[in-house]
Amino acid sequence: MRLLILAVCLAAGLAAQTTSTIKGRVYDVTGGILDGAKVTARQVDTGFERAAAALSDGSYVLTELPAGRYELRAEQAGFRPLLLKGILLTVAETSVVDLTLEVGSLDQEVTITSDAPPINTSTAELSYLVGSRTIQDLPLNGRNYTDLALLQPGVVAFPQRDGGSVVAHGLGTSVNGQDPRSNVYLLDGTPLNDFTNGPAGSAAGTSLGMETIREFRVETNAYSAEFGRNSGGQINVLTKSGTNTLHGSLYEYFRNDHFDARN
């Protein structure tokens, strides 16, 4: 029993991550570091918060952040609080955001709004993000989101399927010329390959619907050690989560003989 518990714990620790990280340093206007400044990240849609204190070198790290829109607030005694809006985190992303505080009282807050995404200078991975807007707007045959992996350079369609495989998976894909069965499909960090190691199939043998997917990232090379198992591409899928507002979607397949060709 003890060995079984240990094996389960190790498996959980080795799972691929879908949450994101914000890190950086806190400075004053002269470029000096601010030790002990409090930095808080708040997710706009849910109100989820995570806070950390800057270390002696001014650095801070906020981990385990679900993907979404964030506000970043920094405060330190003797300085005006800084509120940075418009931060967008995607699946398994590390964003570097440095903060500069001005001398002043705590009731004089400085608010900065920026729609530009932070530049990722922390990893050397070659990856492509397929966001919710892309999934929603681009045409898909059979509404299979995995076909959008073909938007990534180096990814080509491989329609031939193993005869023993189940259906409703969409096209197989070859990443950088490798065997299509060398890819790994992850759903919220859990492997989702079918029993032939083909495209995502789930236990039911069918692909998840588009409405369940928030976004996914296709990593083709130089991915971090948390990804493994196979040598091909890593398709890291993140499902949608709830918000504080009511929302939903509806679609319909419609075919009528009046739309058929005459010959």
Q: In this predicted structure, what is the pLDDT of residue 121?
A: 65
What is the mean pLDDT of the segment spanning 4-30? Answer: 69
Of 244 and 62, the structure prediction assigns the larger pLDDT to 62
Q: In this predicted structure, what is the pLDDT of residue 99?
A: 93
Q: What is the pTM of this model?
A: 0.71
Q: In this predicted structure, what is the pLDDT of residue 228?
A: 67
Question: What share of the chain in percent tops pLDDT 90?
Answer: 25
For residue 165, pLDDT over 70 is answered with no
What is the mean pLDDT of the segment spanning 37-47? Answer: 93
Q: In this predicted structure, what is the pLDDT of residue 159?
A: 67
pLDDT (tens digit, 9 = 90+) per residue, 226-256?
776 777 888 888 888 877 777 777 777 677 7
Q: In this predicted structure, what is the pLDDT of residue 12?
A: 42
Residue keyed to tokens 């998976």: 169
Q: What is the 3-state secondary structure (H, E, C) of 101-160?
A: ECECCCCCCEEEECCCCCCCCCCCCEEEEECHHHHHHCCCCCCCHHHHHHHCCCEEEECC
Strand ranges, E, within the chain: 20-28, 38-43, 49-53, 59-65, 68-75, 82-89, 94-96, 99-101, 110-113, 126-130, 155-158, 172-175, 184-187, 190-191, 213-221, 234-239
For residue 164, pLDDT over 50 is answered with no
Instruction: Tell me the C-alpha to C-alpha distance, in Å, between residue 69 and each of 30, 62, 115, 157.
Output: 30, 15, 10, 33
Ranked by mean pLDDT, which of 69-78, 164-173, 232-241, 251-260 comes out on top? 69-78
**Domains of the chain by start residue, with CATH:** 16-113 (2.60.40.1120), 126-239 (2.170.130.10)
pLDDT (tens digit, 9 = 90+) per residue, 85-131?
989 998 888 889 999 999 987 677 777 776 655 566 666 677 888 88
Q: Which amino acid is at 67?
A: A
pLDDT (tens digit, 9 = 90+) per residue, 209-231?
788 888 998 888 877 777 767 77
Instruction: Tell me the C-alpha to C-alpha distance, in Å, between residue 114 and each of 37, 193, 213.
Output: 22, 38, 26
Burial class of residue 41, CB neighbours in 10 A (0-12, 13-18, 19+)? buried
Sign of the Cα torsion 10, 14, 19, 20 reads: positive
